[in-house]
Structure 1
Amino acid sequence: MPATHDVFNQPEPLADVNLFAGNRPLQAALTFNAPGLDTAPLLALGATVGSADMQRHARLANVHTPQLKTHSRFGHRIDQVEFHPSYHALMAQAVGAGLHGTAFSAQQQVTGHAHQLRAAGFMLFTELEPSILCPISMSYAVTPALRDNTAIYQDWAPGLTSRQYDPELKVWREKTGLTMGMGMTEKQGGSDVRANTTRAVADGTDAWGQRFSVTGHKWFFSAPMCDAFLILAQTASGLSCLFLPRVLPDGSPNQLFIQRLKDKLGNKANASSEVEFVDATAWLVGEEGRGVPQILAMGTMTRLDCALGTSGLMRQALSLALNHTTQRMAFGKRLIEQPLMKNVLADLALESEAATALALRLARSFDRAGDAHEQVMTRLLTPVAKFWICKRGSHFAQEAMECLGGNGYVEEGGEGVMARIYREMPLNSIWEGAGNIMALDLLRALRKADAAAALAQELAPARGMHRALDHLAERLPARVEEMATEMEARRLAQDVALAVQAALLAQTAPAAVFSAFCDSRLGGEWGHSFGSLGAGVDFDAILERAMPHPSTSPR
């Protein structure tokens, strides 16, 4: 067959690059928040997650989605989920990088920056494949919660902090590594977990403490192949937190039955399910009847991961857009040289760096849990960061996809990653409490601590550096002290996020980034879509900083 055309002007994919070495905003945020941190592990991880080989695993794990096997060929109930080998390859890398419970190991804690190191790694891995990080995130969040049951914690902590991935379904003592999930929501309640109807009846005590027999359901039970789960159930004293393993200590399967897997918009490589418990065995964690506070403590950590995950997705979407536009020619110029495209890309770069700065600042508070100011900032910034960063994600991904045109919309090839990012973006905004839940949580945080003083302290280093930031900073403490009504809570969350982001950029970013962010987000020199920055912005300086690898240039 004769050739009908030559293939040219198609950009090479962004592959075999070190995602950490090329991420100057992330490096700057770590230098500011974790001075002296050894970033060698992140450099190694950056090379791994940026490799073409791991990108192939990410693609295959999303194409060949999990399959539910309820019965064996002999008719026995087995309730197992089968994954493509690429899923296990990705899980092994994430566990090996210590992105799950390893931050709570004694070895990591002595560094003083364990949570920030893990947070940066989590962001880097999200650029590769976010959906497998669901069980990783839950294993991170539940590890400290297990301390409220000393016996279980002693038995399970070594496996939860291990860097060995062990996917086999067998009793905990025979495994080299463990993962955990959570089961909270039910059909009738959703975010209102107090409406849960699952019942737990006391069934004696043993080496792990008070034991219960559990009957009920969970409407959204993510990562059902984890080794154990923390669930909520109604006991005689009220809603309580229980530890429910897949395999019981005697080696027999627990009475947990997977009804079906969820067919989701994105998050395809991860198995999310609906389950039923029929006299399943579980053990009490914490005080009976105090399950909600127990869950909220874990929710703080998973909400951190929502902010980190969306920040990582933003960075990857921006990197793909920059990679494409530096190679693609249109109307006689590279796309990145076209004024309107340059404006869009610079605007996306500002948003991405601000998200990274805020997410890493929140992670810092987890490393300084004994500091009074940091305790307030954890409570204040968790709902703020989760609300604002995740809310910006979907709009960001759509605009980044548009930079690639039709190449970004298709599912195949290296640029098909953009479609996967777009489908993934809404998840972090919905999971662990959607926007209204976060806004209400912010109001609760304002009632429990001197948030106005803490916020003023946080913004103080940037006072006098930009008129629009000063104006917002002067008004915020009074608004915080007045504790806005529910009708105003979303606007307050937005303004706190923008003020803190601007203050952080004043201390970590070049002047071109800081001034453009303040002019646009705070000073009104911005429209209602990305790409509406003022003409006086130093676009080239902003894009130079955002480039995913030094061999490309915006000029």
Structure 2
Amino acid sequence: MASQSGTTEHQSDFETDPSPQRPSSSVRNNTSPPATSVEPQKQPIPSSSTDGFFQAPPTILGQLDDDIALQRSLRLFLPHSIREEITPELTTFGNKVLSKPVLDLVADAEKNLPYLKTWDSWGKRRDELVTSEGWRKLSAIGIQEGMVAIGYENQYLQFSRPYQFVKYLVWTGSSAWVTCPSLMTDGVAALLRKHLSDSSLVEQDRAVLQSAYNRLTSRDPEFAWTTGQWMTERQGGSDVSQTETLARHAPELSKEEAQSTASDGSPLGEWLCSGFKWFSSATDSSMMVFLARTPNGISTFMAPMRRTIGDTKETELNGIRIQRLKNKLGTKALPTAELVLKDVRAYLIGEEGRGTKEIALVLNIARVHNAMTAIGLWGRGLSIIRAFVRVRKVGLKPLWSKSAYVRTLARLHVEYRANVLLCVFVASLLGIVEQPQIADYRKATNGQDEIPRSSQATYAIPNPEAAEHIFRLLAPVLKGLTAKSAIAGLAECMECMGGVGYLESEDMNFNIARLYRDANVCSIWEGTTDMMAHDVMRVVYGKTSKGVMSAMDEWVKYATASANAAVGLEAHFVSELWKQWKEIMFERDREEVELRSRELMEKLGDVVMGALMMLDASHDEDRVAADAFRAWTAARKHGDVPDGWQQIMERDKRLVFGEDGPDEVRARL
């Protein structure tokens, strides 16, 4: 029967509808719904600068919430009561450094680089160093937050140092390298504290050193000083034996010269120092410590950067000319300069001819800072990647479901965890070593015979007698290994984020490229990797060799004995590494050992990191910590854990995201 439209009830598949209202592109398949019920298909729209897919920005979390390695280090090295007290502050600070106001300061410091005004309008040399508002405000934040002061307030006794350095580690990714002056300020403050503990110090020298010490350890940005540390000259970087800066004692100064003072009102020193310094970071500091040669050998000197002009309130540089600023791969916001010294008025620190001994204290503290900087930058890079992985999709699947990708992240996180543990361990050793020095200082300055000793013990810390030996051995190991690990780790982080990771973006939240280029200085600053390896050899074969080796033997035995079923038979791997290392060091020809010094430094680092990861896994039988130790061990054996591929995939996700997995983040303190 014909319908009202004139078509048959059983219309052919190929028959056209004569109705002019029907589009010629209508579907002509007898399986399709009637024309009146078909919704028009959306035509694809080309993407543009405003249309198409836009990646949802990742949310980077504060490290005290998201960084399992950092959380575990606090659990291992700080007593529960101290963790409970400092965790709220560290958590707040971890969020603050990721806030827009702070990151805007970083962007300003990176964009508005320091520059030099050499001459004034009338042709007079002025050498005025101009830094950005971002740099100055970040410096003030670091001072207020106690990046140096915490270690000298000593509120938590030997635990003050790990507390300080964990906070410092969180800060580095947002600091724009105001941590460089912090590094030098910390080491020089320790040097001044040592000399202030000497009861034979003459009164005028004591007053000058005490004034400088008070400013270096202050939290008040209006009062506090930072300091430079100048050793590098053209003939060598870490080799200071050929220092060409000369110092002469000149107690008889003209009346006009004698009237000049430092900016704090302290009299200027009676030594006149002249020479050339090839690299000087923290050029905007208020004072400097440097090496110069006297008739009795290389000595250490301290001087203010500026001095008053006669009896006026106007100031000028204290015999210093800034020749030029260095153009560097990274650390762009940090003013690094070549300096000409001409009759700098300075104080001799310690004895003539013992400058390298004096500066060693500064260098060892600087090495801990250097390591924390490297690992702090790497930790920030990994935080960015974890945030990215949580929101990124490949096709319709989340990126974290890609097992090969998560495998790469797991390997990075295992190595990062080992490096964090090493950092906080060495910082803890420093805290123990310093307590007698602090007691001597307090006795000399206020008559207090001693400071209270903490009765609280933590796992993995050797006895105080052994701590000094182990600290001296591990300071160069720490510096050498963490720098290389962070540089390689951040290169991987850039790749893990694809093209966006390679961008020098002004969005400081996600600029891994900045972190990477900055990290490269860590393997050079305060001594290259080969210099660190050489220093390890000096300690092992030096005068304290017997004490050092005995202390390490006892500590490795303690760590191995503390291992439990959580780490299985892998505990013996650490003991075997230590045995092999000693055999090479003491049974092979010394020239072969020298040839292999870097390799042997790395193997010594493996011994300590392996022991720490084993202790971490054993002390509370945490499954992820045990996973990390076994994965770390397998990597050194050039193999993998003896699990099936499905177990490996699940383990990798735990290593990156913890037990909660990628969809949930919880603080684990």
Q: Report the Cα offset of residue 552 of structure 1.
A: 5.3
Counterpart in 1 of 2:94? Answer: 46
1:217–1:276 contact (8 Å) kept in structure 2? yes
Query: Kindly tell me: are residues 159 and 550 of structure 1, through their superposed partners in 2, closer, same or farther at Cα, counting changes over 3 Å?
Result: farther
> Any conservation in 1 of the 2:277–2:338 contact (CA below 8 Å)?
yes
Asked if structure 2 preserves the Cα contact closer than 8 Å seen for 1:127 and 1:316, the reply is yes
Could you say what secondary structure the match of 2:332 adopts?
coil
- Kindly report which structure 2 residues correspond to 1:207-246, keeping only aligned pairs within 5 A, or say none: 211-246=270-305
TM superposition shift of 1:76: 3.3
Structure 2 residue 623 is matched with structure 1 residue 508: no
CA shift, 1:462, in A, is 3.1
Which residue does the alignment assign to 2:540?
446
1:113 counterpart SS class: helix
Kept in 2: contact 1:261–1:271 (CA 8 A): yes
Q: Judging changes above 3 Å, is the alpha-carbon distance between structure 1 residues 534 and 22 closer, same or farther for their aligned structure 2 residues? A: closer
The superposition leaves residues 491-535 of structure 1 with CA deviations (integer Å, 9 ceiling, x where unpaired) of 111011112111111222421111111111x222169xxxx9994
Distance 1:44 1:111 in 2: 23
In the TM superposition, 1:62-461 aligns within 5 A as 62-105=110-153, 108-109=154-155, 111-147=157-193, 148=195, 150-166=206-222, 176-204=223-251, 211-248=270-307, 252-253=315-316, 254-369=318-433, 370=436, 371-412=464-505, 413-414=507-508, 416-447=510-541, 448-449=544-545, 450-460=547-557, 461=559
1:353-404 CA-partner distances (Å, limit 9, x unpaired): 1111000000001111152210011111101111111112221111110001
**Which residue matches 2:73?**
29
**Residue identity in the other structure for 2:492:** E
Say yes or no: does 1:544 pair with 2:592.
no
What is the CA–CA distance in structure 2 between the aligned matches of 1:366 and 1:54, rounded to whole Å?
A: 30
**Does the aligned pair in 1 maintain the 2:105–2:134 contact within 8 Å?**
yes
CA–CA separation in structure 1 for the residues paired with 2:474 and 2:659: 25
In the TM superposition, residue 537 of structure 1 has moved relative to its aligned partner by 7.3
Shift of the 423–85 alpha-carbon distance from structure 1 to 2, 3 Å rule, reads: same
SS in 1 for 2:511: helix
The offset of 1:58, in angstroms, is 1.2
Q: Label 1:85 to 1:523 Cα distance change in 2 as closer, same or farther (>3 A).
A: same
Instruction: Give the deviation of 1:459 after TM superposition.
Output: 2.3
Is 2:583 aligned against 1:478?
Answer: yes
Give the Cα separation in 2 of the matches to 1:189 and 1:340.
Answer: 45
Preserved contact between residue 97 and residue 103 of structure 2 (Cα < 8 Å): yes
1:58·1:129 contact (CA, 8 Å) conserved in 2? yes
Counterpart in 2 of 1:170?
none
Deviation at 1:3, TM superposition (A): 7.2
**Which letter maps to 2:224?**
G
Contact 2:58 / 2:391 at 8 angstroms: preserved in 1? no
Count of matched residue pairs: 536
Shift of 1:551: 3.9
- Residues 401, 419 of structure 1: 8 Å contact kept: yes
Secondary structure, in 3 states, of the residue corresponding to 1:346?
helix
SS in 2 for 1:326: helix
The range that moved more, 143-152 or 282-291, is 143-152
Opposite residue 457 of structure 1, the aligned amino acid is E
Alignment-derived partner of residue 622 in structure 2: none
Give distance in 2, aligned partners of 1:261 and 1:236: 32
Specify whether residues 20 and 110 from structure 1 end up closer, same or farther in structure 2 by C-alpha distance, changes over 3 A only: closer
- TM-score normalised over the length of structure 1: 0.90
Give the letter for the 1:502 counterpart: G
Give distance in 1, aligned partners of 2:92 and 2:627. 30
Alignment partner of 1:30: what SS? helix
Q: In structure 2, do the counterparts of structure 1 residues 288 and 406 end up closer, same or farther at CA, with 3 Å as the change threshold?
A: same
State the secondary structure of the residue aligned to 1:226. coil
SS of match in other structure, 2:385: helix
Letter in 2 for 1:523: K
Is 1:524 the counterpart of 2:612? The answer is no
Task: Quote how far apart the aligned CAs of 1:34 are.
Answer: 2.2
Q: 1:160 to 1:410 in 2, by over 3 A?
A: same
Matched AA of 1:545: G
Q: Which amino acid aligns with 1:10?
A: Q
Q: Name the CA shift for 1:135/1:394 in 2 (closer, same or farther; >3 Å).
A: same
8 Å contact 2:390–2:663 — kept in the other structure?
no
Distance 1:49 1:270, change over 3 A: same
Question: Using the alignment, how far apart are the partners of 1:210 and 1:52 within structure 2?
Answer: 45
Partners of 2:167 and 2:657 lie apart in 1 by 23
Rounded Cα–Cα distance in structure 2 between residues aligned with 1:135 and 1:73 = 31
Moved more, 442-451 or 5-14: 5-14
CA distance in 2, matches of 1:137, 1:72: 33
- Structure 1 Cα separation of the partners of residues 357 and 105 of structure 2: 38
CA distance in 1 between partners of 2:375 and 2:358 (Å) = 27
Shift of 1:30: 2.0
CA shift digits 1:14-73 (9 cap, x unpaired): 45x323232232122122222132323322321211222212211221121111122333
8 Å Cα contact 1:22/1:550 also seen in 2 = no
Q: Any conservation in 1 of the 2:653–2:661 contact (CA below 8 Å)? A: no
Q: What is the TM-score with the length of structure 2 in the denominator?
A: 0.75
Partner Cα distance (2:627, 2:244) in 1:
55
Check the 8 A contact 1:451/1:480 in 2, yes or no: no
Retained in 2: the 8 A contact 1:452–1:480? no
Q: CA RMSD in A?
A: 2.7
Q: Deviations over 1:322-352 (max 9, x none)?
A: 1112211124322221111101111111111
In the alignment, is the contact (CA less than 8 A) between 1:14 and 1:323 conserved in 2?
yes
Q: For residue 65 of structure 1, what is the amino acid of its counterpart?
A: L
Counterpart residue identity of residue 503, structure 2? V
Q: Given residue 539 of structure 1, which amino acid in structure 2 is its aligned partner? A: D
Shift of 1:78: 2.5
Question: Residues 471 and 182 of structure 1: is their aligned pair in 2 closer, same or farther, counting only changes over 3 Å?
Answer: same
CA distance in 2, matches of 1:309, 1:42: 17
Q: Take 2:516 and 2:661, find their aligned partners in 1: how far apart are those partners? A: 19
Partner of 1:169: none
Conserved? CA contact 1:23–1:546, under 8 Å: no
| Cα distance change on mapping 1:109 and 1:234 into 2, 3 Å | farther
Q: 2:573 aligns with which of 468, 485, 503?
A: 468
The residue type paired with residue 12 of structure 1 is P
